[in-house]
Amino acid sequence: MGGTVRFLTRPLFGLFLVILFILVWLGSTQNSMPVTLRFLDFESPEWPVSYWLATAFGLGFIAAVLLNMWSNTGLRMRARRAEGKVPTASPAQEVDVGSG
């Protein structure tokens, strides 16, 4: 079952990313008016909206990849530690857990 789900989710996720990229690209080409972003006392340089959208999209993608790598590294380390602690049982050592 797990292989089938992975077989379906990877192409669907790739399709989602392609559609998202196209939507961001279409939105950014329609917004070429230069704007300045202001936050408290900070004022950004004047860039077209398309540059801001592409920058936000790129930074979000990089942040997601880094967060995913960090999370997966911790999970893999935990799984490796757990593999070393659990002894494998031989067929003679198996215990019947019947409805006794």
pLDDT in tens, 51-86: 887 788 889 989 998 998 888 888 888 888 777 765
79 or 24: which carries more pLDDT confidence?
A: 79
Evaluate whether 43 touches 36 at the Cβ level (below 8 Å). yes
pLDDT of residue 69: 87
- Chain mean pLDDT for the chain: 77
Alpha helices in the chain (DSSP H): 2-29, 49-85
pLDDT at position 33 over 70: yes
Q: What percent of the chain has pLDDT over 70?
A: 77
The model carries a pTM of: 0.52
